[in-house]
Structure 1
Amino acid sequence: MALKILVAGGFGVGKTTLVGSVSEIRPLSTEERLTEAGRPVDSLDGVQHKTTTTVAMDFGRITLHDDLALYLFGTPGQDRFWFLWDELAQGALGAVVLADTRRLADCFSAIDYFEHRAIPFVVAVNCFDGARTHSPDEVARALDLDPGTPVLLCDARDRASCKEVLIGLVEHAAASYEARLRPGAGSGG
């Protein structure tokens, strides 16, 4: 059995890095060099050193047991590639919304996307070197998250840190699905 997980968030937040650091296989990446043609639509504010971007998706895999694997699909961050999200989201167990506190507004669109489709998600704050540290509660308030939406701190470059985020997502998704199956769930009672 395979479980599908999306890794989403704004441009330059570390989605490709997260998939690559945790995948047990060499990840499939559709990274392409940024071009002059993209300059008017790809703001490099806060990510001035970025030279590539995902143009379709990233893919990685983690085997949990002989009969269970996680398939990770990293989404492109720019609005112009959002038409791919609906295809990538089909059948997803849940999503990791990667956030950068220096550009927190960049993850609002991803949060809205998963909230409107009732896809369980966690917010994983990628703790960049030199960025001011904020507590998970502060980030949850700033993002106006629904109560119970987990906010986790991580380093997208660190395999163990990324595994903890994925464990948090799977636990949250399982709890969300169990809550929906309870008698009276969703009927206001």
Structure 2
Amino acid sequence: MKRSSERFLTTHTGSLPRPTDLIQMMFAREEGVPVDPAALAARVRAAVDEIVRKQVEAGLDVVNDGEMSKPSYATYIKDRPHGFGGESHPLVYQDLAEFPELARRVFGDPGRSRRKTPACNGPVGVRDPRAAQADAEVVSAALARAKAAEGFLSAASPGVISLFFRDDHYHDHEKYLMAIAEAMRHEYETIARAGVIL
């Protein structure tokens, strides 16, 4: 891992704007419309190549995939571990009650309105062990092509997951967090093994 010993290294926090056609494919998939998995994977690879190149051109030292393969920084989880189904209630932001115009903007966002957040309705465990590996392979290849010095992948934390996905199974917040952490261990370790910063 690079250090800021000579100068301050630059990076960012995670999600970057996705291309419109990729957003449309993601929205379609979220809404249950059949999307060709090979076409989606190819579009994600191209989008990651482009966003990594743009970050390098902008002068960032530590770049990422922009979370191009994920419909949201947290709700992508519903497709990776099992134990989630049905519906969860969207988050309510009490502090927006006094700011109705801002509330309309926040809740009127097309991505937010399509966001699916099922509840935890069974034991949480790894369902798609290949997804994190695919993300790591795609970003690693893009980093090499762009001659990026270093890269990272974001992964949702147990706390974020428990916030977005209501617990209807464990009925104990600590047990729920520990189950999520154990299920997400695979994703975290896969990213680290790939030589990408988590």
Which TM bucket (shorter chain)? under 0.3
Of Structure 1 and Structure 2, which has the larger fraction of its residues in strand? 1
Higher helix fraction (1 or 2): 2
Which protein has the larger Cα radius of gyration, Structure 1 or Structure 2? 2
TM-score by length of 2: 0.25
